[in-house]
Structure 1
Amino acid sequence: MRNYRLFFSGQVVNNIGTWMNRIAQDWLVFTLTGNNPVALGIAAALQFAPTLFLSLYGGVLADRLDKRKLLIAMQSGMAACAVVLGVLDVSGWVQVWHVYVLCFVFGCFTAVETPVRQSFTSEMVGVGLVTNALALNSSSFNLARVVGPAVAGVLIILVGTGPVFLINAATTMAVITGLLLIRPSELHRGPAVARAKGQLREALRYVRGRADLVTVLVLVFCVSTFGITFFTTLAIMAANVFHKEADGYGLLSTMLAVGTLTGALLAARRSVRGKPKLRMVFGSALVFGVLEIAAGMMPTYLAFAIALIPVGVVVMTFMNTAITTVQLSVEQEMRGRVMGLYMLLFLGGNPIAGLLTGWLADEFGGRSTFFFGGTVSVLAAVLLGLVLRWRTSLPGKPSAAQGEVRGTVRQEESATAQT
C-alpha cells in the first residue's frame, strides 16, 4: 500500500498544522474583538457556510474527475489562504474582516476537498480495507489534535498568531508532496461517471430509498450541528467562563483530543471485527449527549478539562461508526455523491451552530452551549432510533440488517470486479 503510506504520512504532518491554524484563528478573532463570542460564531459560520452549496458538487466532481489532482488543487488553495492570513497578521495589518473573508474562501476549498478526500480513501486501499484505512485516518487526525493545539497555545504566547498560520501553510506541502508521489496505476479506480443531467437528484433518490441511510444522516446532522460545536465552545469556556489565556484554550483542545485519539484507536481495534452496527451509531450519540451535559456542569477548569476526555472518546466513536456505516453501505459509483451529502449534513449545519452557540453564550453564559447541544443529541438519538425501528418493521420495508447485508454484497461484487 505504497500510495496510502504516502498519503497517510503527509496527512499526519498536515493535520498538526491544521489544528494549530484552528487555535490561532479562533484566538486572533477573540483578540481583535475583545473576547466577543458572537464574532467567533460569525467566523465559524463563514468558514462552514460554503459547505451548504459546494459539498454536493464536490461529491459529483469526485465521481467524475481525477480525485488525486482535485486534492492537489484544493490543498494548494488552502495553503494560499494560510499564507495570506499569516502575512497580514505578522505585518500588523490584519483586521477582523480580513479573517472573515479568508474564513469564507478557505471554507470553499474545504467544502470541495472533504468529500473528494473521503471517497479517495477507498480508491487508495480498495473496498476490503476501507474500514481499517478510515480508522487510521481518524487516529492520525486525532493524534494531531493532541499535539497541534498544545503547540499552538505555546507559540501564540511566545510569538503571536501570525507565525502559526505560516507554519500551517508549510505543513500543507507535506500532503501535496505525498499526492504528487502517488502512482495512479496502483489506484483501485472504479469506472468514471460521465457528465450527465440529474446526477445529484439520482443520488438523493438513492438515499431516500434507504431508511437506514436517511436516519443515520439526519442523526449526523443533529449531533454535529448542535452537539459537536467545540470549534467555538472551547474558546468561549476557556476565556469567558474560566478566564484563561491562549495556552488554557489549547490545553482544553488537547484534553478533548486525548479522548478523540483514544476513541480513534478503539475504532481501529474494532475495525478488524467487521463493519460497525447501527446500534453503535445511535448508542454512541446518546452517550455523547449525556456526557456533554455532564461536562457543562463541571465547576472548575481542571474538572472540565478532565471531563472532555470521555466526551472525546464517545464523539469519535460516533463519528467513525457513522461515516464507516455510510461508506460501506453504498455502491462505488455512488460513493462520491453520497459522501458529498454526508459532508453537507455533517458540516453544513456549522454556520447555524457558530451563530447559535455565540448567541447562547452571550445571552445565557458559556455553559449553556453544552447543555443545549447535549440535550439535542440525546433527543435525536432516541427519536430517530425509534423512527428507524418503526420504518424497518413495516411490511415490505428492508430491515437495517438486510441493508447491511446488501451493502456487503455490493462491496464483494466491486472487489471481484477490481481483481
Structure 2
Amino acid sequence: MHPLPPAVNPAAALLCNTCYIKVVNSRLWEINVAGAAAFRHTVRMADVPQPGIATVPADATSVPRRVVTGPISWRRTFAALRHRNYRLFMGGQLVSLIGTWMQTVAVGWLVYELSHSAMTLGFVGFIGALPMTLLTLPAGALADRVPKRRILLVTQIGAMMLAFVLAGLVWWGTIEVWHVAALSVLLGVTNAFDVPARQSFIVELVGKDDLMNAIALNSSMFNTARVVGPAVAGVVIASVGTAACFLLNGLSYLAVIASYLLMRLPVASVQHDGHSLWRATGHVIRYAAGEPVIRAVMIMVAVMSLFGWSYSVLLPVFARDILHLNARGFGMLVSANGIGALLGALTLASLGNYPHRRRLLFAGVTGFCVTISLFGISRHPWLSAAALVGVGYSMILFFATANTIVQLRSHDELRGRVMGLYALAFLGLNPFGSILAGAVAQATSAPVTVWLGAAVCAGAGIIIARWTRPGGVPGPTS
C-alpha cells in the first residue's frame, strides 16, 4: 500500500463502525456509520479540503476501503503511470492494439466482401472466439502456476506469426473464408491464454492501490487504439488493401514483446497446490458462486456479452446495407464507438476509487440499452456515429467497473483463475452471441437484432439491480 499524501493524517481511526478522519489545517471530516446496509454522515470543514485519500467504511458491507476525496485532478487520473513497468506495458500495448484493431476491421470487411452474408460474419466471429469459451478457465489456472510474463511472451509471438500468415494469403490472392476462419480459431487459442494472464498481471505492475486507475487507463489505451486503428484501417483498405492491415498488425507485436522483455520484475511467486488444472478450475467456480457480489457481476457481464456486445459483429451490415457507407465510413463507425469508450475510460480514471460502483455498473447498462436502441433506429451516418459514441461510453463504464469489482473482491492466490472465469463471461460467451446475432439478422434484420439484444440486457439489469439492491443481498457497491 502506498503512503497517504501529505494532506491526510495517517492516524485516522476506525472504531466501532464510526470513522473519524482528521485532515491537516484544522479540517475535520466525521463519518458516522449507523450499520452495514445504511449510513449517515456529517461534515464539518473550516475551509475547502484539498484532494486526499481516506479510509472509510463501505456503503453496505462495513468493509474498509480507500476512496478519493476532493476534486478530480489530472495527476490522479494518470496515477498508475508512476510505475515504470506499467508505463512499458501501456506503451507496448498501445502500439500493438492499434494493429489489432486494424486487423479486426480488415477481417470483418474481408469476410463480408468474400461472402456478402451476415450469417457468415456471425459464423467467423463464433468460430474465432470459441476457444475463449473452452480454454479460459484452464488458462486462468495456468496463470496462477506459471510466471505470467512467460505466458504473455508466448501468446504475443504466436499472434504475430498468425498475422503474417494472413497477410501473405491475402497478398497472394489465395485467401478464402475458411482460411480466415481457421486462422481466427488459432488466434482465439492464443487469446484464451493471453487474457487471464494479462488481466491478472496488471496488479503485479501497480499494486492494489492503483488497480482501479490502471484498469481504467488500460481501457483508455485500448479505446485510443480503437479510435486510431479503425480510422487508419479504413484509409489503408481503400488505398492499399486488407493485406497491408494484416502486415502492419504483425509488425506492431514487436512493440509489446519488447515492453515485456524490458520490465524489471521481482522473482515470480507462483502457487501450486498439487491439484490438476481441471480440479483447480472447479474450485474457482465454487468460490465465485459462493460470493454474492462476484456472482451477480459475472451474471450481468455474461448477459451483456451474449446479447449486448454482439451488435459489433453486425457493424459491417449496418455500414454497407443500411447506411450505404464504404470502407472509410465503416472505419468511422468503429472509431466513433471507440471515442465513446475512451471518454468512458477517462471518466473512470478521473473518479479514482469512486465508492458507489454499483451506480456506475447499472448506469452503464442503462446507457447502453438507450444508445444501442437509438443506433438501431438511425438511418443517418452521423446520428449513427453519435449513438455509437454513447454505446462505447456506456459499455466501458459497465465492463471496466465490473472488472475492478471482481479483481478487488478476489483472493490473491485465486486471481488468475477468477479472471479466467471473468474472461469466460466477458469474451467466452461472445461467439454464441455472434452466431445468434448473425442468425437473427439473417431471419429478420440487423436493427431488429440490436433492439432485441437491448431488451434482454435491460430486463436482466432490472432483475440483477433488484436482486442486489442495498439492504437486500449485498450488491457490487465496492
Asked if these proteins are the same fold (TM beyond 0.5), I'd say: yes
What is the CA–CA distance in structure 2 between the aligned matches of 1:82 and 1:306, rounded to whole Å? 32
Q: Does the 8 Å CA contact 1:283/1:381 hold for their aligned counterparts?
A: no
1:342 maps to amino acid: Y
Larger radius of gyration: 2
Structure 1 segment 204-243 matched on structure 2, within 5 A = 204-243=285-324
Structure 1 segment 365-380 matched on structure 2, within 5 A = 365-380=445-460
Q: Which moved more, 1:278-287 or 1:97-106?
A: 278-287
What is the CA–CA distance in structure 2 between the aligned matches of 1:295 and 1:208, rounded to whole Å? 35
Aligned counterpart for 2:375 among listed residues 295, 305, 328? 295
1:29 aligns with 2:108: no
What's the Cα RMSD here? 1.6
Aligned counterpart for 1:2 among listed residues 84, 93, 99? 84
Structure 1 segment 28-107 matched on structure 2, within 5 A = 28-33=110-115, 35-107=116-188
State the 1:230 CA deviation.
3.9
Higher helix share: 1
What is the CA–CA distance in structure 1 between the aligned matches of 2:427 and 2:451, rounded to whole Å? 21
Q: Does the 8 Å CA contact 1:190/1:333 hold for their aligned counterparts?
A: no
What is the CA–CA distance in structure 1 between the aligned matches of 2:475 and 2:383, rounded to whole Å? 40
Q: Does the 8 Å CA contact 1:287/1:378 hold for their aligned counterparts?
A: no
State the 1:105 CA deviation.
0.6
The total of aligned residue pairs comes to 394
Gaps of 5+ in 1: 405-419
State the 1:191 CA deviation.
4.9
State the 1:288 CA deviation.
1.2
2:226 maps to amino acid: R
What is the CA–CA distance in structure 2 between the aligned matches of 1:343 and 1:160, rounded to whole Å? 33
1:196 maps to amino acid: H
Q: 1:118-140 CA deviation, whole Å, 9 max, x = no partner?
A: 00000111111111111111110
> 2:80 is matched with which residue?
none
Higher strand share: 2
Aligned counterpart for 1:13 among listed residues 82, 95, 103? 95
Aligned counterpart for 2:344 among listed residues 263, 273, 278? 263
1:132 aligns with 2:213: yes
Q: 1:144-177 CA deviation, whole Å, 9 max, x = no partner?
A: 1110001001100111101110100000110001
State the 1:400 CA deviation.
3.5
Gaps of 5+ in 2: 1-82
What is the CA–CA distance in structure 1 between the aligned matches of 2:370 and 2:140, rounded to whole Å? 33
Structure 1 segments of 4 or more deviating over 4 A?
A: none
What is the CA–CA distance in structure 2 between the aligned matches of 1:221 and 1:47, rounded to whole Å? 18
State the 1:279 CA deviation.
2.9
State the 1:274 CA deviation.
3.9
> 2:275 is matched with which residue?
196
Aligned counterpart for 1:160 among listed residues 241, 251, 256? 241
Q: Does the 8 Å CA contact 1:23/1:149 hold for their aligned counterparts?
A: yes
Structure 1 segment 171-182 matched on structure 2, within 5 A = 171-182=252-263
2:472 maps to amino acid: S
> 2:417 is matched with which residue?
337
Q: Which moved more, 1:289-298 or 1:105-114?
A: 289-298
What is the CA–CA distance in structure 1 between the aligned matches of 2:324 and 2:284, rounded to whole Å? 48
Q: Does the 8 Å CA contact 1:291/1:310 hold for their aligned counterparts?
A: yes
State the 1:340 CA deviation.
0.2
Structure 1 residues 338, 88: CA separation in 2 closer, same or farther (over 3 Å shift)?
Answer: same
2:366 maps to amino acid: L
What is the CA–CA distance in structure 1 between the aligned matches of 2:311 and 2:88, rounded to whole Å? 30
What is the CA–CA distance in structure 2 between the aligned matches of 1:148 and 1:307, rounded to whole Å? 20
1:65 maps to amino acid: V
What is the CA–CA distance in structure 1 between the aligned matches of 2:320 and 2:168, rounded to whole Å? 26
Q: 1:272-292 CA deviation, whole Å, 9 max, x = no partner?
A: x44552232123212211221
Q: Does the 8 Å CA contact 1:63/1:333 hold for their aligned counterparts?
A: yes
> 1:247 is matched with which residue?
328
Q: Does the 8 Å CA contact 2:129/2:430 hold for their aligned counterparts?
A: yes
What is the CA–CA distance in structure 1 between the aligned matches of 2:293 and 2:205, rounded to whole Å? 27
> 2:464 is matched with which residue?
384
Q: Does the 8 Å CA contact 2:311/2:437 hold for their aligned counterparts?
A: no
1:30 maps to amino acid: Y
> 1:317 is matched with which residue?
397
What is the CA–CA distance in structure 1 between the aligned matches of 2:215 and 2:356, rounded to whole Å? 12
> 1:400 is matched with which residue?
475
Q: Does the 8 Å CA contact 2:238/2:327 hold for their aligned counterparts?
A: yes
Structure 1 residues 190, 283: CA separation in 2 closer, same or farther (over 3 Å shift)?
Answer: farther
1:386 maps to amino acid: R
> 1:412 is matched with which residue?
none
Q: Which moved more, 1:158-167 or 1:238-247?
A: 238-247
Q: Does the 8 Å CA contact 1:64/1:194 hold for their aligned counterparts?
A: no
Q: Does the 8 Å CA contact 1:276/1:321 hold for their aligned counterparts?
A: no
